[in-house]
Amino acid sequence: MQRQNVTLSLPRSLLKKAKAIAAKKERSLSELMRESLEEKVRESTGYKKAMERQIRLMKKGFNLGTGGKITFSREELHERR
């Protein structure tokens, strides 16, 4: 995988905390930031794929065994015994 350096501007307090976390996990700051960005990208693309899959399912619809006909009324569904 080809890599490219990036320059970031961070508040000094954030940088200190991030360095401390990286040291505690025995990782470099670069590794810590890369892992964090990879996780954000996975979350974003995973959500998008799941949403697209659900929209396709909704457009297709589900076989509810009714043959497309409703054989009961709303009142019958909500009848209390």
pLDDT, tens digit (0-9, with 9 covering 90-100), for 14-32:
999 999 999 999 999 999 9
Tens-digit pLDDT profile for residues 38-77: 999 888 888 888 999 999 999 998 888 888 788 888 888 8
Residue written as tokens 């799941």? 50
CA dist., res. 68 & res. 57, Å (int): 17
Does the predicted model carry a pTM greater than 0.75?
no
Q: In the 8-state DSSP scheme, what is residue 66?
A: S
Q: In the 8-state DSSP scheme, what is residue 58?
A: H
Q: Which residues touch 18 (CB under 8 Å, ≥6 apart)?
A: 10, 29, 32, 33
CA dist., res. 3 & res. 14, Å (int): 24
